[in-house]
Chain A
Amino acid sequence: MSIDLMQSAGIEDLASADDLETLCTSFGSLLGVGIRIVDAEGRGLASHRLLADACEYLHGFPSMTGECESFFQRILKPDGDADGHVVHHCYAGLAYATMPLHYDGDLLGNIVLGPFRPSRGSGAAGQAELTSGVDRAKLETLVERTRSISAEGLGRIFSAVVTLLLVILRMGHKVMATGLAHTLSVEESYRQLLEKNKELEDHQRRLEEVDRLKSNLLATMSHELRTPLTSIIGYSDMLASGMGGGELTEDQLGYVSTIAEKGEGLLGTISTILDVASLESGRFEVERQRTPITEIVESAVHKVKEASPRRDVKLELGELSSAVVVVDPEMVGKAIYQLIDNAMKFSKPGGHVQVQVRELSQRPKGDEAVGYVVMAPKLNWVEIMVCDYGVGMPQEIQKKIFEPLFQGDDSVTRRHGGLGLGLALVKHYVAANEGRVRVESTEGEGSTFYIRFPREEEPERPSRG
């Protein structure tokens, strides 16, 4: 079944048969005249029949009954072009009046009133040939006994009937529209729920499998690797400090220091993996606060300068915006640190890395212009750019660079170490703070990483329009 809110409705859709019958009976009894309501095709919906004595007299003649029926069928179907009510005179000298019923621009049906005796001068009795045997004088007497209605009276009657009928139809329309909207809404909600349920079931199956694997991995990492590593580092430190019972030679001290240093590096890598795991599983807390973005960037730059072994690469801090963002400063600081650290690693000797913070232009591009006046307050961003002039990367690698464990180019990445988790962490850190990260890169020329966060507006002074 196809139903929609644009469909037109018929009288029978909007009013119950009982209500229409009650309307006909009430008006018919009150006025002493027959009344009938038919649909747009002339099919009867409700009626209050009052046959005039003249009609009963004529129905005694079989040929007249057929004529009467034929006349009646002709007037039932509504005439949509009629302007107001129309009076139809019948063979007996009586009349019927019809009034097309319009609702919301649609022709819904016809109201038929009669038979009644038209006021004098509006039509003559016996306009048609009457069957032989009909006593014309008797017929005229019977016609005279029929209720008379003037043209003005008809106008008033139809006005009252139509008004009440429209009230009934309007109420019915409201109920029908409400019910229809409700039904459609429920159907739509049900369809959505089925889709969502299916998606959820699929997700759940995948998640259960991933979760099982991840739990195993985390348990292994946490226990089998980190625990012994802590011992290795601890004992190395003890040996280096002479707690092992006896001074170490210079060579021995060098070996032990290397063990401790590499152990620390390995512990750092494992911690990074565990960080990624916890971010991916959503088991982490983001403590967002209003912070000037410059503070976070300057702090990250300072830390990289302290820690980076690349003394041959110049780190420059360019344009800095004073914009305020609402982020977790520690998390965002780690992301920026990671990007700058990577840029340093992948720079050519004697190269330089640029860091900039800028507020994005408010000029919308492409489809951003659609509804811009509404969406603009939500599209103001501050962007951090980390630009290096190093090895760069091809297009296909750029698409996967933020995936966990992805290694861009074995020869390069192996030289610099790492598991390919740094950028995955950056992506998670940024996403957790409602930001976006992307990269633009040209092989052999360098890469620029962009992180953007919604810029927090300074409290605006309201104005009257």
Chain B
Amino acid sequence: MQVDVFHKQITVKLVYYGPALSGKTTNLQHLHTLVDPGLRGNLMALETRDDRTLFFDLLPFHFTSAGGVRLRIKLFTVPGQVIHNATRRIVLQGADGVGFIADSQVSQIDNNAQSFTSLGENLADNGLNLATTPLVIQFNKRDLPAIRSDDEIDALASLGREPVYKAVAIQGIGVVGTFLGLFSMTWTALEKQHDLSKRFEIKASEITSFLEGMIGGSGRGEVAT
């Protein structure tokens, strides 16, 4: 989190991480379409011709609280390809929360695990701890054949720590829920750490209402229990 006391501005950094082609950029693109143009920044998608993110995508949201504090949420994705590890590590610098976008296909189990392992390593290299970083997991591509079953994901999710969302990002399903879940978890952690409501008179409920109003409550998708 970056705090500019002089300009009363807080910038929160959220990063969508995951294996190549798991749908990180698609999540951002859908969020971008939902937001009022006056409140969103430009979606900077640095893609190659085959839809692979080359460096990162960046989607800034702006919000001004009743107390005059400006909150900026910068949403990044990382390039999923294995060779771009250095870029992933850089994009993760100073991340306040991470959304892990996993591919639901059975064939992608190893890639998901490998990417998750690299997430832990790259966070550690940035002085962050995976176990204490706000984290949500999204299982995307639920509309494809040959995917891991709902029962399996629900059973495993109930044993894990973090909220797990199911999504079809290309149809917008589960995208909003994942984002709101990630932001809420991140804000709670930042509030606990920095006492934001007292220092800046900015309330979590105020932001949540703003975000819900901004991107709507539809398409939240199903949350694994």
Contacts and interface: CB of A to CB of B under 8 A. Distances in A.
Contacts of A370: 120, 130-131, 135, 160-162
Contacts of B72: 105
B153 A373 contact: yes
Contacts of A177: 44, 46, 55-56, 58
A178 B2 contact: no
A465 B142 contact: yes
Contacts of A374: 100, 102, 112-113, 116, 137
A185 B56 CA distance: 12
B130 A371 contact: yes
B159 A462 contact: no
Contacts of A463: 147, 149
Interface stretch (B27-35, B83-91, B179-187, B197-205): B83-91
Interface string A377-409: 110000000000000000000000000000000
B223 interface: no
B106 A462 contact: yes
Given A104-B41, A369-B159, A182 B55 contact: yes
A63 to B, nearest CB: 39
B145 A372 contact: no
Given A177-B55, A367-B131, A5 B153 contact: no
Given A181-B87, A192-B86, A377-B109, A371 B60 contact: no
Contacts of B90: 5, 181, 184-185, 188
A184 B76 CA distance: 16
B166 A378 contact: no
B25 interface: no
A465 B147 contact: yes
Given A4-B94, A104-B42, A371-B160, A462 B60 contact: no
Nearest to B150: A465
B113 A375 contact: yes
A192 B139 CA distance: 32
A173 B42 CA distance: 10
B224 to A, nearest CB: 7
Interface in B96-118: 100, 102, 104, 106, 109-110, 112-113, 116-117
Contact of B160 (A170, A192, A369): A369
A185 B86 contact: yes
A362 interface: yes
B47 to A, nearest CB: 11
Given A371-B120, A465-B104, 15 more contacts: A105-B72, A177-B46, A177-B58, A178-B55, A181-B55, A186-B86, A188-B86, A370-B160, A370-B162, A371-B160, A373-B224, A377-B109, A378-B113, A462-B146, A463-B147
22 contacts: A5-B76, A6-B13, A105-B41, A105-B70, A170-B42, A170-B44, A174-B44, A178-B55, A185-B55, A185-B90, A188-B89, A369-B159, A370-B131, A371-B116, A371-B137, A372-B160, A372-B161, A375-B117, A377-B113, A378-B109, A462-B145, A463-B147
Interface of B: 2, 11, 13, 41-42, 44, 46, 54-56, 58, 60, 62, 70, 72, 74, 76, 84, 86-87, 89-91, 93-94, 100, 102, 104, 106, 109-110, 112-113, 116-117, 119-120, 130-131, 135, 137, 139, 142-143, 145-150, 153, 156-157, 159-162, 164, 166, 224
